[in-house]
Amino acid sequence: MKKRTLFIIPLLILMMVVIAGFLLSVDFLSSGNIQRQKENLESAIQKDITDFYAYNGYYPEDLSVLKDNYGLTYNEELFFVDYQIYGANLRPVVTVLERSTD
């Protein structure tokens, strides 16, 4: 009976280490995925702004124009987009921030 107990303890420790490693790797991959989503969103917004300006000769007055006319969509629970425009002939300043998931 003692031999069996000595075998089970290292097996349980090994299983705990494997589970902890799995959870850490999932967290690491998830954070990298969010960063890629943020970069893709920033690129999509900049492209839509450029396309809008090329077609209309002025920049969109707010982000809803890009949503309505260019089909811009993003997870608004995950990202906050600050869209500041200073004039029809000045490129808007766009900042994409990740919202806190706490």
Segment 51-82, tens digit of pLDDT: 999 999 999 999 999 999 999 999 999 999 99
Domain boundaries, the chain: 2-98
What is the predicted pLDDT for the residue at 18? Answer: 76
Segment 12-56, tens digit of pLDDT: 777 887 777 667 666 665 556 888 899 999 999 999 999 999 999
Of 76, 80, 73, 85, nearest to 95 by C-alpha is 80
Separation of alpha carbons 21 and 28, rounded Å:
11
Lowest mean pLDDT among 4-8, 31-35, 84-88: 4-8
CB 98 within 8 A of CB 34: yes
- pTM here is 0.69
What is the predicted pLDDT for the residue at 27? Answer: 64
What is the predicted pLDDT for the residue at 32? Answer: 66
Residue with tokens 């629970």: 77
What is the predicted pLDDT for the residue at 3? Answer: 65
